[in-house]
Homo-oligomer: A and B are copies of this chain.
């Protein structure tokens, strides 16, 4: 894999996984990137040498300021391309992730600027994910995963994680952006749910419920 390509994927991965607290376990990152644990350690060392991450052996990695700047830039480019794919090329929102993944790595600063302009400076991508500004700031609109809500809550879908098979699944279940739904049942033992979307009820596993982000309505 090309030099920049890998660096960018690692940084983006670390950024994504560290949303909660601080360090990310190498094994966690390895699983995310679908790469062997040992390979990750090696790459982490190179990134640390370039001052893009902090590495405490056996403890985990976290992004430095410049690492974070790069990570957010990649996320911005990814989401701008997703917007392009939907608005200009007519893709569906569950088809765009992989295409955008490849495009984001061949995007110059100039192109990013022009793409943003051509799209009318969008604030969110087709999944509802906020698009950070050139300076790396996010619009702080609050939302939480569906999994944190309880029976009786009525919520609106704000964004859907563009990872793995979640999108295709969500699409087939009729769980689109801006759809309203009500939590009907929530299983104690595994966190899965039954929700009402429009006229019909739908079973949702915990994994999916953690990838669907909503706001009370």
Contacts and interface: CB of A to CB of B under 8 A. Distances in A.
A89 B111 contact: yes
Interface string A126-162: 0000000000000000000000000000000000000
A190 to B, nearest CB: 37
A99 B118 contact: no
A117 B108 CA distance: 25
Given A106-B105, A108-B99, A111-B99, A118 B88 contact: yes
B102 A89 contact: no
A85 B115 CA distance: 9
Interface string A91-109: 1000000010011011010
A1 interface: yes
A108 B95 CA distance: 12
**Chain A binding surface SS class:** helix
Contacts of A5: 2
Contacts of A103: 103, 106
Contacts of A91: 114
A100 to B, nearest CB: 10
Of residues A85, A88, A90, which shows the largest number of chain B Cβ atoms within 10 Å of its Cβ? Answer: A88
A177 to B, nearest CB: 21
Contact of A2 (B2, B85, B90, B117): B2
Contacts of A2: 1-2, 5
21 contacts: A1-B2, A2-B2, A2-B5, A85-B111, A88-B88, A88-B118, A89-B111, A89-B114, A89-B115, A89-B117, A89-B118, A90-B114, A90-B118, A91-B114, A99-B108, A99-B111, A102-B106, A103-B103, A103-B106, A105-B106, A106-B106
4 closest cross-chain pairs (CB), A and B:
A102-B106, A89-B114, A2-B2, A88-B118
